[in-house]
Amino acid sequence: MKILFLEPHEGTFYLFHKELAQKLIKLGHEVCVSAPDGDFTQNIKDLGCVKLNAPVKRRSINPLSDLKLLIYYIKLIKNLKPNVILTFTIKPCVYGGLAAQFTHTPYIADITGLGTAIENKGVLRFIALSLYKLGLRKAAKIFFENSRDQKFFIAHKIAAQDKTRLTSGAGVNLNKFKLEDYPESPDGAIKFLFVGRIMKDKGINELLEAFNNFNRKNIYLDIVGGCEEDEYLLKLEQAHQANNNIIYHGVQHDMQKFYKASHCVILPTYHEGMANALQEASATGRPVIASNIPGCQETFDDNITGFACEPKDAQSLTQAINKFINLNHQERCKMGLRAREKMQREFDKEIVVDAYIDEINKFAK
């Protein structure tokens, strides 16, 4: 069969879905990937996929831009004639879903999270829910990364119960993110790591506020992720000037070295589909500090593989950081080992890949 991935960003495909594509290619299927060209274009081609440039503007709310994307998807599907389409995140799910309906092509959607528009309510929420209803109404199957999102879509009559399937997020490649020796800290130094987009809803404000309380020589914070807003670039610069142990590294493609060097990974996010950074960190054998919300709760066991904090609460985050600092080296190591074991039991990438293969095989039959 010919299978078309509609992705918002080629990094999303390469970092989280390439194992599925590799399995499909191994089974003899042709895989095409539609996403804006960028740093991973050649990597995707090297996997054996057909790479197609797409005019997806993730943060844009311009109707003309979205209409252009819809027309692009319709033309693309008519030209490629795929047997099955896989759509990820809101714009590919909505406009890719509409294009699939228009061309009478089967499609499977993946809801990677509700997104800021829905979480914050208001007019944008109404628009987003209306678009989702249109885009998902003919989906053969809709994958969800946490049960809260699944129940939300069923309750709002966007998805029928029998059309949904729950997975452990995108899963984590346990061979790529292998267990690493826990770093020693003879001088008492502790390195924390934040991985995610630099934006309000990822809890970056609370993170920087909390670390104002730890302006000490042996407490470090590395921040990794893309930043699309000048306001937050300025905040990161000011944070570094105030405390040079806070370092922003921008976008990084080799995350293993950052996880390996860290003692703990922090994600004080407001909402998540399923937090990939927490899965990767845990697979590497690192404890986590994360928001006590769906999409994070599933990935760690409080007081066993990490500590929970309340979202939008810098004081709660500070308390969780203090808890971790007060552990001894052996206790931190034990947390990290238990985190790895949890990933092996519940979040192995192969489990998620097999779930997709199962649904795709129904079209082959």
When pLDDT is cut at 50, 70 and 90, the band that residue 139 belongs to is: very high
CA-CA distance, 266 to 173, in Å (whole number)?
Answer: 20
Are the beta carbons of 340 and 282 closer than 8 angstroms? yes
When pLDDT is cut at 50, 70 and 90, the band that residue 28 belongs to is: very high
240-256 b/e with 16+ CB inside 10 Å = b?
eeebebbebeeeeeebe
Give me the half-sphere count of Cα atoms (radius 13 Å) on the Cβ side of residue 219: 14
Note the pLDDT tens digit of each residue in 37-58: 988 999 999 999 999 999 887 6
Domain limits, the chain: 2-171+349-364, 190-346
CA-CA distance, 360 to 43, in Å (whole number)?
Answer: 24
* Architecture of the structural domain at 190-346: 3-Layer(aba) Sandwich (3.40)
CB atoms within 10 A of CB 2: 14
Q: Do domains 2-171+349-364 and 190-346 have the same CATH topology?
A: yes
Q: Give the strand pairing for 190-195 and 164-166.
A: unpaired
Residue 30 tokens, joined: 């042709």
Note the pLDDT tens digit of each residue in 271-328: 988 999 999 999 999 999 999 999 999 999 999 999 999 999 999 999 999 999 999 9
H/E stretch holding 279 reads helix 276-283
Helix, strand, or coil (residue 87): strand
Angle at 334 between CA 295 and CA 330, to 5 degrees: 135
Distances (CA, A) of 174 to 34, 185, 289: 27, 26, 21
pTM for the model: 0.87
Note the pLDDT tens digit of each residue in 165-187: 999 888 999 999 999 999 998 88
- Per-residue pLDDT at 255: 93
User: Considering the domain 2-171+349-364 in this protein, what is its CATH number?
Assistant: 3.40.50.2000
> Residue 215 above 90 pLDDT?
no
> Residue 60 above 70 pLDDT?
no
